[in-house]
Each structure stands twice: as C-alpha cells, then as structure tokens.
C-alpha cells in the first residue's frame, strides 16, 4: 500500500474515532459541558491534560526550534516542564478546592467583583486566541503536506472537526477525545524517534542515542558531529548559546509562570472529584508529558543532522524526494544564486524577508523560482522549521506507515489543544459574562446554547488566525505564555496566598500587566519588526521573555493599589482561609 493511501487511512480513521467518542460522551448539561460532570478519574484526567497541554508547539514546532537553535531552544523544554510542576504544586489543588467552573469564576468570587471577572475574561480571551493561532497553523501545515491541500483548506477542515467534538461534546466529550489523542500523538512521536535513533547510533532509545557515538565509524558523538558540520557551513556550534543570560532567564521564567496561568490547563483540574485528585492527575500528566519532552532534544538533533546530510552539496537531480514533496507545499525552497546547480546550505537567510514567494516556474537548475530577490550571502536553502518533525520520517526514509502515523499525531496534538482553548473561550462568554454578569436569570438550556454559539464564533476567529498567523507555531505560543504570566498568574497567586489583596489591586494589576506585555510584543512583532534586535529591547529582554517584566509590573501595581484602597471584606478573608486549610482542620474565625 502506498504512503499517501496510508496517510488517508490513518488520518480519516483517527478523525472518525474522535468524532465517535465526542458523540458518545456528548454533554447534556452545563456541568458536563464545563467540567465533564466533575467526576473524571485522575489517571484519565492526567492523560487528557497531557494531550491538552502538548499542543502543536510541543509536537510540531519545539523539536524544530531545537534543531535550528540548538542550545538556545532548551528554554522551551525548561520553561514548559518547570511550569507544569509549579501549576501542580502551587495552584491546581487550591483552585479545585474552590470548586467552580472557570478561572474568571475564581477571580470574580475571590475579588468580590463583576469588573474583576470581566477583566479576567478579557485576559483569558487574549491568551487563548494568541495560543490557538499556533494550533490552527499546525493543522494547516499538516494538511497542506500530507493531504495535498492548501493551508487554508487544511485549516477549514480542522475547524470542521473541532466544531463537531468541541461544540457538541463540551468538556465531557473533549476529555475522552483527548485521551485518544494522547495515545495517537505520543505513539506517533516516539516510534520514528526510536527508528531514527537506532539508524544513527545503534541505540533505539533516543534519550540515550543523543549521547552516543554516530554509526559511521568516525568515533564522534552525535553532538560533536553536529557541531563540526554546522561550523563548517558558517553556523554557530549547536551546543553554543547565543542568547544573553538575562533573556534566557526571562524566556524560561515567562514560559514557566505562563504555564501556571494558562486557563485551558487550569480548568482541567476542575474536572476531578476532589482536591487530592487534582494533585494526582497533575502527577500523572507530568509522567505522560515527560515521554515527549525527554525525546524532543534527540529528535531535533537527529533531524538537523539528517537534513544536512541529505541536502548540503547535492544537485537538484540528486535531491531526495522528501525535499521535493515539501517544496511543492512552499515550506522548503532552493535558489541557485551562483548558478552551479549545487544546493549550498549556509548561515543566513536564503531569501529577503524570510519565507520565499513562489512563482510556480522552474529555474535552469530545476528549482522552483521565487518572485522576491535572493538575499545577500551564500545560503541558498530556505526551510520552514515547523516541518522538521513532520518531515523527519521521510528524511530518514522510514516506512510509509510511520509517515502516516506522524501525520495523524501532528493533527491530534493541534486539535486537542485547540478544542481545550475553544471550550475555555466559550465557557468564559456563556458562563462568566452571561450567567454570572449580564444575564443571571438565563436558563441552563439557554446558557448551554450560548456556550455552543460562542465556541462556533471562536472557531471562525481561530481559523482566520490559522491562515494568517503572526509567526511560527512555537513563537506564537510563547507569546500566549507571556500574556498569561503577566495577567492571570499574579491575580490567581495573590488570590490564594494573600488575604489583603483586594479587587481594586487585582484589576489594576491585570490591566497593567496585560497592556504592557501585549503592547511590547505588538511593537516588535507587528508594528516595527525591523527594530526587533537585542540593542533595542528593554533591558535586553526579547518579546518571548517580556512577560516576566509584565508580571513584576502586575505584582507592583496590584500591591500599591491594594495598600491605597479599602481592605478585603471579612467573608473574603475567610474564603481564602478555607481554600488553604487542609480537609478536617478548623477554619479560624475572621473578624
């Protein structure tokens, strides 16, 4: 059976499974729609949380960033995994003990204010739409290559699939769908990694293979060979870092703190029966996440090594078929600048402005021509880093069923997180804005209808962002983490661990942190990208790490305003004490 047929079977089969599960577990009430009835087993919830959290950025883009950034890409590994530990130990059990549906629920009740709830909803929508852009971009990339359709068509198909199981199934349908998606995505990630590790080093465990010698008789270790190959072509050594220490610290911290403030992950801990189950499900999620995250550095290194060996110095007629497959989808390109017919892969951009614009015509050496002029420098090869994990099985010439499995896994990763984010957006609109703020008399049936309509509208916006994303997948997602760190995390943290933080302080902190971080990112990434250089950054901190500064600003403004305004009421202080006191202990009386 040919590879394309296998891809159709794997992808369509997995979609049929997701939709079938969603229809079987269709939400019949608002409790089912928001928190899956609140009775999910901790192990099941851990698996669903892992799928919800391991998005297209984790599956598709993270290893690609590591492949091209080397040591600098480690900030994503450290930040995201460290943040999940912080979430599990610091926030999840207390939020579950609070016992509501959403993050704005907690903020609205803790800060005794409808205005605080509305600000939290605005922060949540900003974060979620920034995050979901990356997921839909991932869906488009997978479809464009493996199903041979355009990126726009691929995004539309993905929107239709998510609509069925997110809008109909709600959290109940999503939870059990995500369990299936986790099984698909982790199997799809590990199988090619085992194959490629064995082919390159003779060791089937990629985590061990990364530290092993290469199977070519040179006696060099994998990272030694990669360092030498890259330095020969004018790149920095793979194991050398180029970012400043302050930027590495801030990006890692922003990703870590942002993880602890991500609404679509936090809401998963409302689906278990009790607070102790929230801790257990977080522990299981960390185990499931580690399967992918300990493998990603090896996948990135093997992908870059294979890419160099199959492309550099080859003529177009010698180029492997995988390069032509991805070239046909405008995700890799070669411009024969010196007219020698040989692909020269060197440091620097191959094309002015980054991604090439194809004309569809063939050049004298066989390459597809582009309309924008070649950039200065010797590099002739452009590659979209988001393709590295997806192309890895083809580069290594693995069997067709492995390529099909990776296609299904990439879609599972993107769609599972997209569904979780859409549910958070819809529940914020229907539950927090309508039921708890503007229409408290709305019926449960009306609230459920509003949730489904809000999810449908969110899917349309998400689809637009998928077609026109502001950056590559993991970078877009990094911005969402920065926004979460700067807006929701301080309000949640202070709401749990202080009794003196009042509504005025929380609102002022969220508004200032979100505004500063969003404007900084927009300034360098949307309005003036030509100024996006280290010498222009505030304190040498990039857009990916600026969320830490936004968080500090949030804490400072919230504390100052709280000290200058009325103290929290006694009943709110008692609520905070109740959240933090262990089960069975006596809650102290608040005067």
Tell me the domain boundaries of the chain. 3-303+398-580, 314-388
Residue 518 has pLDDT above 50, yes or no: yes
pLDDT tens across 527-546, in order?
887 888 889 999 899 888 99
Q: Is a pLDDT exceeding 50 seen at residue 591?
A: no
Identify the burial level of 472 via C-beta atoms within 10 angstroms of its C-beta, where 0-12 means exposed, 13-18 middle and 19 or more buried.
buried
333 bridge partner residues: 382
Instruction: Taking the CA atoms of 519, 525, 530 and 535 in sequence, report the sign of the dihedral they define.
Output: positive
Cα–Cα distances in angstroms (integers) from residue 373 to residues 349, 385, 528, in the given order: 12, 21, 22
Q: What is the pLDDT of residue 380?
A: 84
User: Residue 586's pLDDT is what?
Assistant: 45
Contact 229, 221 (CB under 8 A): no
Query: Of 78-92, 391-405, 477-491, where does mean pLDDT reach its minimum?
Result: 78-92
- With pLDDT > 90 as the criterion, what percentage of the chain qualifies? 18
Q: Do the beta carbons of residue 551 and residue 257 sit within 8 Å?
A: yes
Q: Are 254 and 485 in contact (CB under 8 A)?
A: yes
Q: Sorting pLDDT into bands at 50, 70 and 90, what band is 170?
A: low
pLDDT tens column, 15-51: 788 778 777 766 566 665 555 555 678 888 888 888 8
In this structure, what DSSP letter does residue 367 have?
Answer: P
Region 358-372 average pLDDT: 73
Which residues on adjacent β-strands are paired with residue 492?
none
Q: For the chain, give the number of residues.
A: 591
pTM metric for this prediction = 0.80
Mean pLDDT, range 443-448, rounded to an integer: 80
CB 469 within 8 Å of CB 476: yes
Q: Residue 458 and residue 464: Cα distance in Å, rounded?
A: 10
**Assigned token pair, 468:** 């026109």
Q: Which residues are bridge partners to 374 per DSSP?
A: 351
Query: How many CB atoms are located within 10 Å of the residue 271 CB?
Result: 27
The rounded distance, in Å, linking the Cα atoms of 408 and 410 is: 6
Residue 584: its pLDDT value, please? 44
**370 and 359 in contact (C-beta within 8 Å)?**
yes
Contacts with 81 (C-beta within 8 Å, 6 or more apart), sequence order: 286, 289, 290, 293
Query: What burial class does residue 129 get, using C-beta atoms within 10 Å of its C-beta: 0-12 exposed, 13-18 middle, 19+ buried?
Result: middle
* pLDDT for 585: 42
Read off the pLDDT band of 268 (50, 70, 90): confident
54, 265 contact by CB (below 8 A): no
How far CA 63 is from CA of 221, 301, 310, in Å, comes to: 19, 8, 19
Cβ–Cβ under 8 Å, residues 561 and 504: yes
Q: Calculate mean pLDDT across residues 369-382.
A: 74
The third-level CATH classification (topology) of the domain covering 3-303+398-580 is Sodium/glucose cotransporter (1.20.1730)
Specify whether the CB–CB gap between 220 and 213 falls below 8 A: yes
Query: Which residues fall within 8 angstroms of residue 232, CB to CB, at 6 or more apart?
Result: none
Alpha carbons within 13 angstroms on the beta-carbon side of residue 181 total 37
56 vs 45 pLDDT, higher one: 45
- The answer to whether residues 269 and 100 touch, using CB atoms and an 8 Å cutoff, is no
Q: What distance in Å separates the CA atoms of residue 482 and residue 246, rounded to the nearest whole number? A: 15
| Residue 367, CA atoms < 13 Å, CB-side half-sphere | 25
**590/573 Cα distance (integer angstroms):** 7
CB 458 within 8 A of CB 133: no
Q: 15 - beta bridge partners?
A: none
The three-class DSSP label of residue 368 is strand
List Cβ neighbours of 313 (8 Å cut-off, separation of 6 or more): 342, 343, 344
Is the CA virtual torsion 126, 128, 134, 136 positive or negative?
negative
Which is more confidently placed, 298 or 77?
Answer: 298
Both tokens of 327, joined, read 């070239």
Query: Band of the pLDDT at 428, cuts 50, 70, 90?
Result: confident
* Structure letter (DSSP) for residue 36: G
CB distance 219 to 206 below 8 Å: no
- C-beta separation of 152 from 140 below 8 A: yes
């Amino acid at each position: 059976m040919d590879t394309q047929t296998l891809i159709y079977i794997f992808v369509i089969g997995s979609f049929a499974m997701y939709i079938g599960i969603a229809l079987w577990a269709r939400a019949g009430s608002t409790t089912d729609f928001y928190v899956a009835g609140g009775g999910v087993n901790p192990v099941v919830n851990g698996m669903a949380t892992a799928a919800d959290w391991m998005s297209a950025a984790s599956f598709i883009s993270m290893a690609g960033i590591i492949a091209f950034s080397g040591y600098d890409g480690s900030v994503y590994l450290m930040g995201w995994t460290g943040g999940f530990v912080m979430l599990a130990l610091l926030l999840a059990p207390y939020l579950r003990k609070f016992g509501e549906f959403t993050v704005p629920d907690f903020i609205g009740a803790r800060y005794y204010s409808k205005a605080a709830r509305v600000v939290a909803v605005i922060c949540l929508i900003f974060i979620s739409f920034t995050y979901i852009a990356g997921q839909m971009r991932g869906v488009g990339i997978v479809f464009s290559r493996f199903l041979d359709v355009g990126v726009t068509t691929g995004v539309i198909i993905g929107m239709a699939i998510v609509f069925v199981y997110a809008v109909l199934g709600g959290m109940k349908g999503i939870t059990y769908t995500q369990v299936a998606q986790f099984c698909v995505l982790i199997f799809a990630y590990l199988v090619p990694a085992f194959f490629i590790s064995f082919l390159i080093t003779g060791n089937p465990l990629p985590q061990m293979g990364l530290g092993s010698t290469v199977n070519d008789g040179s006696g060099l270790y994998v990272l030694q060979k990669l360092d030498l190959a890259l330095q020969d072509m004018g790149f920095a050594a793979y194991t050398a870092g180029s970012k400043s220490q302050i930027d590495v610290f801030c990006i890692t911290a922003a990703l870590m703190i942002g993880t602890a403030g991500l609404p679509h992950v936090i809401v998963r801990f409302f689906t278990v029966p009790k607070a102790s189950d929230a801790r257990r499900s977080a522990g299981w999620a960390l185990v499931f996440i580690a399967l992918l995250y300990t493998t990603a550095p090896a996948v990135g290194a093997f992908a870059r090594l294979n890419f160099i060996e199959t492309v550099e110095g080859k003529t177009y007629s010698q180029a492997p078929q995988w390069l032509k497959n991805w070239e046909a989808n405008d995700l890799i390109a070669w411009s024969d600048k010196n007219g020698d017919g040989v692909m020269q892969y060197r440091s620097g951009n191959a094309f002015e402005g980054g991604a090439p614009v194809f004309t569809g015509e063939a050049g004298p050496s066989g390459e597809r021509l582009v309309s924008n002029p070649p950039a200065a420098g010797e590099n002739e090869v452009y590659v979209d880093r988001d393709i590295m994990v997806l192309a890895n099985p083809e580069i290594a010439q693995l069997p067709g069923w492995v390529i099909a499995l990776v296609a299904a896994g990439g879609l599972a990763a993107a769609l599972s997180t997209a569904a979780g984010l859409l549910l958070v957006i819809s529940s914020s609109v229907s539950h927090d804005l309508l039921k708890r703020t503007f229409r408290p008399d709305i019926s449960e049936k009306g609230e459920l209808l509003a949730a489904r309509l809000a999810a449908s509208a969110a899917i349309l916006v998400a689809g637009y962002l998928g077609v026109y994303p502001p950056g590559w997948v993991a970078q877009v997602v990094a911005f969402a983490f920065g926004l979460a760190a700067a807006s929701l995390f301080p309000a949640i943290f202070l709401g749990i661990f202080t009794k003196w933080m009042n509504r005025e302080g929380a609102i002022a902190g969220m508004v200032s942190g979100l505004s500063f971080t969003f404007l900084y990112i927009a300034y360098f990434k949307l309005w003036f990208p030509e100024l996006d250089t280290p010498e222009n950054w505030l304190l040498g901190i990039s857009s990916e790490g600026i969320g830490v500064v936004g968080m500090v600003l949030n804490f400072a403004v919230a504390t100052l305003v709280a000290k200058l305004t009325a103290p929290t009421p006694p009943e709110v202080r008692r609520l905070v004490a109740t959240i933090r006191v262990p089960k069975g202990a006596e809650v102290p009386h608040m005067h």
